Structure 1
Amino acid sequence: MSAFLSFFILQGRLLFCLLNKTLHYKSLKGMTEMHNASNLTQGKILGPLMKFTLPIMAALILQTLYGAVDLLVVGQFAAPAAVSAVATGSQILYTLTVVITGLSMGVTIIIGQQFGQHKENEIGNTVGAGICLFAAFSLILTAVMLLAAPALVRLLQAPPEAYDFTVQYVRVCSGGIVFIAAYNTLGSIFRGMGDSHTPLMAVAIACAANVALDLLFVAGLNMGAAGAAAATVTAQAVSVFLSMLIIRKRGLIFPFSRKQIRFHKKVIFRICKMGAPCALQDLLVSISFLAITAIVNQLGVIASAGVGVAEKLCGFILLVPSAYTQSMSAYVAQNIGAGQPQRARKGMYYGMATSFCLGLVMSYFSFFHGAALSRIFARDTAVILASAEYLKGYAIDTLLVSFLFCFIGYFNGCGCTTFVMIQGLIGAFGVRIPVSWLASQAEEVSLFHIALATPCSTVVQIVLCFWFFKWGYPRLQKKAVFSSKNTGVS
């Protein structure tokens, strides 16, 4: 285990050095060569917003494919125990990913506001502090996961026949945390500047590599869940290193030097102030879904595998509102930074309308054609039926989150990440887990009733967000204006 830890520490240091040299080279090459950055504070709203959102949506599709390929290949070439291992283990890794993504939201918000304020000279310090923060965080998280994997798998009550496979999957995938952090660091920087194309390229590279490696390790070499995990980590590494080579050819629109890659206390504090509530909210919300997984795992390996397949499909079903969360955060951050709150609100309304229209299509297929969708990832008839039953509950949620996720993106862009955290925790622990548990205690347990816990929590969260949008946030703005006048801040 000590040799394993040493290897990943060395790997992290190498990646840090490469990221350092890449960004420094890009800055030296010239600040006029980067054309993908977008100023979202001028001109029409809907067209530029959709142009910014669509690459994010495409990246999320590829990212979901990236994660789904493991389950798809294992489901076709391995036993149900291996399918259960990948389904449970991938949820643990997804939890870690959303924590890193949530923390990186702090970088996106700050850079977006600085970009909207035309403070390009300050962006370099934010980037440098973000690199240091995520380098340290990823190495610590890797060490923790390698040691805690067995305890986490036991906590999720993985079926006995899938326990060893699940631990193995989690440990191998934990080796890729440093690459997940690197991708999110780069992605948060470019999204904050309105560039959603560069992160798309990184995910495209990872997805292509993962498909090829999964077929090699699982289908070709019969390595099962361990092979899927090895393919995931290798693809992540290939993605990051090739992405650096691609973006190395471009220039940055802000001045940047190696001296700025350090622990700027004030900047790191601000990143954590913005990003930590997002990370904590994402972590605890993911834990709530892990709790549902634990509840379902008690129902047997068929229910466990069925819900695992359904959760993979839900990743695709919820892509549209998820894309709007990210794009709305950057869009609103730029407009708030530019002093255009009315334009920020109009963008949110456009986002809700377009997201809902697209959500209708996804809701139809998940409710009426869940079995056909489930056959993509499983061959066992019982697993397919269990997955289809669970998907019907998510079909309702697909419509509701069109509003919720745009609210969340709006509040993130405004810097109100603490409220986002609070409403998320109320929905997760006040509604989702209790309703799921109550549904699991019925005499005739229905996966559809367990799945209904999610739209129930979404309704509560929408009510909270509407209240904060109409009354809570305006009061905070008035207090901020009053405070700035009293302190003489202009």
Structure 2
Amino acid sequence: MLSSVTLDLPLARRFLFFVLPMMGSNILQGLSGTINNIFVGRMLGAHALAAAGLFFPVLFLLISLVVGLGSGGAVLIGQAWGAGDRVRVREVAGAAMGMTLLFGLAIAVLFTPVIGPLLHLFGVPPDVLPAASAYAAVMLGFMPFLFVFILLTFLIRGVGDTVTPLLALAVSVLVSLLLTPFLIRGIRLGGVGVPALGVAGAAWAAALSWVGTVAWLVRRLGRQDHALRIDRAFLAALRPDPRLLLLLFRLGFPAALQTGITALAEMALLGMVERHGAPAIAAYGAVNQVLAYVQYPAISIAITASILSAQAIGAGRTDRLAPIRHTAMMFNLAFTGGLVLLGYALSRPLVQLFITSPPVVELTVRVLRIVLFAVVAQGGGLVLAAQMRSSGTVLWPTLISVGSILLVEVPVAWAGHRVEGLEGIWLGFPACFLSILGFQAAYFRLVWLRRPVGTLLPPRPAAPIRTA
């Protein structure tokens, strides 16, 4: 796929300047969770780390709709921006924001009071349940701020601005870094202060960082006269054109479904891991943390390919799609492949950032080495799916990913668990990533390349004709 195309150097430079801030953003986003886990693991031990780690699949499931809306909104905004239609950019953003706020408020109101019984239903061990419930309750109560934060970073990237999300995530990480140790252990000055909150303190630090970052974003966008600044015109767009809502739903729902099913699959795997106790759960959380950093370049490159492709489609330059795709593939091999090699070389020191128990460290290192190599294949599949989605082709890329998760990852993990025990669970990840790449490539070559590509945005209503 790559051999017949030479690297377009101007495009490669643009791609690089676009993708580097996005990679920085994704790293900072992961760093926020990593900081919490390092503090929790080092200050409170493996049981507390397990309590925080158990909420990760739940959080992943809850934000799936926002990820879907953000992905669909970024595609539409990219096409509108490529066409030079600034008004349509704000209409799309307003529609996505209105839906996100409603969803965030519903999650906070409906799930916060019942999170304890839900975690018990998912089989959380009794010795971890109280701490996990306290952690999850705080996170759920502040979901609207997290959802707005996530959505804004997606939409801002749609207009080609990857620097503002990077700065926003830097603010979030800084606030979390400053607050987490004090809220875990407590602080008193002159007889006044905050009591020790334990593992819930890490959740409070994350929640306060979301609030502060959303406030910072709103202020920055307003001061810059940004295309997505929050003003009266933007707020008026919260009552959107029904056609835009349907289009956002059509683009966003498959992505949300895929994210949600991924989260459910993670819960299924976690259910297998939980049978081996808190050390195994801690290893699971640490593997997810390290694996996330290795995946960030692949995810960033795919998002960049999607946005640049959407802008090219909006501008009527479909001849740019092939160079964008090939540039993305080359970047995936260089960036993701390089990090995979680094991950193998430094697996033990990386794991020791989160875990101090030698037996758990050894288990985590063995598991990490099972899954790392397949992230390069995952990146290739993400690039192909991203370009197809930029043109509105969302159903089949989603079905391929969902089918690989349900029909390959979970069964292979279950079979591996039966044969190899705990470590066999992680065989499902490389099997899934390789399956996705193979089927996405087949669909891309045999179907998508033969279809016409055009803008998705509905035409504006004709202005009424005034008569004398």
User: Does TM-score exceed 0.5, indicating one fold?
Assistant: yes
**1:258 deviation in Å?**
4.2
Q: Which residue of 1 aligns with 2:280?
A: 303
Q: Which residue of 2 aligns with 1:214?
A: 180
**1:177 deviation in Å?**
1.1
Whole-angstrom CA distance in 1 between matches of 2:309 and 2:118: 37
The one-letter code matched in structure 2 to 1:150 is G
Residue 359 (str. 1) matches residue 359 (str. 2): no
Residue 252 (str. 1) matches residue 252 (str. 2): no
Identity of aligned residues (%): 20
Whole-angstrom CA distance in 2 between matches of 1:230 and 1:204: 18
Q: Which residue of 2 aligns with 1:137?
A: 103
Residue 229 (str. 1) matches residue 196 (str. 2): no
Seen in structure 2, the aligned counterparts of structure 1 residues 122 and 218 have a Cα distance that, compared at 3 Å, is same
TM-score, L = length of structure 2: 0.89
Q: Which residue of 2 aligns with 1:17?
A: none
Q: Is the contact between residue 371 and residue 384 of structure 1 (CA under 8 Å) also seen in structure 2?
A: yes
Q: Which residue of 2 aligns with 1:243?
A: 217
Q: Is the contact between residue 103 and residue 276 of structure 1 (CA under 8 Å) also seen in structure 2?
A: yes
Q: Which residue of 1 aligns with 2:302?
A: 325
**1:467 deviation in Å?**
1.3
The one-letter code matched in structure 2 to 1:259 is A
Q: Which residue of 1 aligns with 2:441?
A: 466
**1:224 deviation in Å?**
2.1
Q: Please show how residues 425-436 of structure 1 align to structure 2 within 5 Å.
A: 425-436=402-413
Seen in structure 2, the aligned counterparts of structure 1 residues 184 and 446 have a Cα distance that, compared at 3 Å, is closer
The one-letter code matched in structure 1 to 2:447 is G
Q: Which residue of 1 aligns with 2:429?
A: 454
Q: Which residue of 1 aligns with 2:126?
A: 160
93-102 or 311-320, larger mean C-alpha shift = 93-102
Residue 388 (str. 1) matches residue 354 (str. 2): no
Choose the corresponding residue for 1:96, options 62, 65, 76: 62
Whole-angstrom CA distance in 2 between matches of 1:181 and 1:355: 28
Seen in structure 2, the aligned counterparts of structure 1 residues 143 and 468 have a Cα distance that, compared at 3 Å, is same
User: SS at the partner of 1:347?
Assistant: helix
**1:151 deviation in Å?**
4.1
Deviation track 1:362-403 (CA, whole Å, cap 9, x = no partner) reads: 222333432221100111112211211111122122221221
Q: Which residue of 2 aligns with 1:122?
A: 88
**1:285 deviation in Å?**
1.2
**1:222 deviation in Å?**
4.1
**1:166 deviation in Å?**
1.0
Seen in structure 2, the aligned counterparts of structure 1 residues 342 and 304 have a Cα distance that, compared at 3 Å, is same
Q: Which residue of 2 aligns with 1:445?
A: 421
Q: Which residue of 1 aligns with 2:168?
A: 202
150-159 or 221-230, larger mean C-alpha shift = 150-159
Q: Please show how residues 44-193 of structure 1 align to structure 2 within 5 Å.
A: 44-193=10-159
Deviation track 1:322-357 (CA, whole Å, cap 9, x = no partner) reads: 111221211111112222223122111111111112
User: SS at the partner of 1:160?
Assistant: coil
Whole-angstrom CA distance in 2 between matches of 1:374 and 1:393: 14
291-300 or 427-436, larger mean C-alpha shift = 291-300
User: SS at the partner of 1:251?
Assistant: coil
RMSD: 2.1
Q: Which residue of 2 aligns with 1:35?
A: none
**1:227 deviation in Å?**
0.9
Whole-angstrom CA distance in 1 between matches of 2:19 and 2:86: 23
Deviation track 1:126-155 (CA, whole Å, cap 9, x = no partner) reads: 122122111111111222321442344234
Whole-angstrom CA distance in 2 between matches of 1:83 and 1:259: 43
The one-letter code matched in structure 2 to 1:453 is G
Whole-angstrom CA distance in 2 between matches of 1:230 and 1:290: 24
Seen in structure 2, the aligned counterparts of structure 1 residues 254 and 60 have a Cα distance that, compared at 3 Å, is closer
Q: Is the contact between residue 370 and residue 389 of structure 1 (CA under 8 Å) also seen in structure 2?
A: no
Whole-angstrom CA distance in 1 between matches of 2:328 and 2:383: 6
**1:458 deviation in Å?**
1.2
Q: Is the contact between residue 440 and residue 446 of structure 1 (CA under 8 Å) also seen in structure 2?
A: yes
Whole-angstrom CA distance in 1 between matches of 2:127 and 2:376: 37
Whole-angstrom CA distance in 1 between matches of 2:388 and 2:113: 36
Unpaired runs of 5+ residues, structure 1, are 1-41, 482-490
Whole-angstrom CA distance in 2 between matches of 1:422 and 1:223: 43
Whole-angstrom CA distance in 2 between matches of 1:342 and 1:453: 38
**1:79 deviation in Å?**
2.7
Q: Which residue of 1 aligns with 2:346?
A: 369
**1:90 deviation in Å?**
2.5
Deviation track 1:296-330 (CA, whole Å, cap 9, x = no partner) reads: 11122111111111111111111100111221211
**1:87 deviation in Å?**
0.9
Seen in structure 2, the aligned counterparts of structure 1 residues 331 and 155 have a Cα distance that, compared at 3 Å, is farther
Seen in structure 2, the aligned counterparts of structure 1 residues 454 and 155 have a Cα distance that, compared at 3 Å, is farther
Q: Which residue of 2 aligns with 1:29?
A: none
Whole-angstrom CA distance in 1 between matches of 2:48 and 2:82: 48
Seen in structure 2, the aligned counterparts of structure 1 residues 359 and 128 have a Cα distance that, compared at 3 Å, is closer
Q: Is the contact between residue 302 and residue 386 of structure 1 (CA under 8 Å) also seen in structure 2?
A: no
Seen in structure 2, the aligned counterparts of structure 1 residues 292 and 254 have a Cα distance that, compared at 3 Å, is closer
The one-letter code matched in structure 1 to 2:54 is T
Whole-angstrom CA distance in 1 between matches of 2:235 and 2:284: 47
The one-letter code matched in structure 1 to 2:421 is V
**1:83 deviation in Å?**
0.9
Q: Which residue of 1 aligns with 2:324?
A: 347
